[in-house]
Structure 1
């Protein structure tokens, strides 16, 4: 699995996704994990749910996803840019309602908030289980 990190906004995320699409890799699955920005000093997000979910998500992604799959971690901004801000670009352009949110691109598969730390739902998401 290839891990990428974006913290420069929606346009940077869209550019990265477009670039991945141009690589024409067969059977590649692309996941985007939206979370509160990570503090470079503490190494943690301002979002407590994100901090709970991250170890579960990463452990399962590394164990389950194929070598050609991609997981993009994407910061939605600082706390004041996200909380109670209906104009946040991720809320407006990606229709996000909460963080963490894990989305598998080109599917309707999504995990939101506490589902992202669920030890049963996360592996099902990465395995592609329909239930």
Structure 2
């Protein structure tokens, strides 16, 4: 099962966007911040053209679990960021790792933008923990 295209799930979210790469992320996150409200950002591995799936097996597992929780979050803006090819992500100087607003250590990672709320590793495959991210 590959990553579902944004246009097939857009009706489930107040605002949904997919972006590819760091520059796309910077541009889209500013645009979505301007909308106000809660912004959830999922960082995931890019799609491997040869398989049609993310090169990141943990991302393939986490995506449907995140989606199952997010489908009811109609008040939340949702940004899915494809971080790029594996070699780009694994570079210690990858901007997703060094940006003080993201400081990613692993993917997949789900964060509530501009907050301390973050899930990664095996935590992102627990739907209860994902739901708790959105509790006050």
Q: Is contact 2:40–2:113 with CA below 8 Å preserved after alignment?
A: yes
RMSD (Å), alpha carbons: 1.7
In 2: Cα distance, 1:92 partner to 1:106 partner? 16
Which TM-score applies when normalising by structure 1?
Answer: 0.82
Which TM-score applies when normalising by structure 2?
Answer: 0.80
For residues 53-82 of structure 1, the C-alpha deviation after alignment (integer angstroms, 9 at most, x for no partner) is: 00000111012x12x421111111111112
* Bigger strand fraction: 2
Runs of 4+ in structure 1 displaced over 4 angstroms?
none
In 2: Cα distance, 1:129 partner to 1:111 partner? 14
Which residue in the other structure is 1:77 paired with? 84
Q: Whose relative contact order is higher, 1 or 2, with alpha carbons under 8 Å and at least 6 apart?
A: 1
Gaps of 5+ in 1: none
Q: What secondary structure is seen at the aligned counterpart in 1 of 2:48?
A: coil
Gaps of 5+ in 2: 1-12
In the comparison of the two structures, how many residue pairs are matched? Answer: 121
Which residue in the other structure is 1:31 paired with? 40
Which residue in the other structure is 2:34 paired with? 22
Q: Is contact 2:33–2:39 with CA below 8 Å preserved after alignment?
A: no
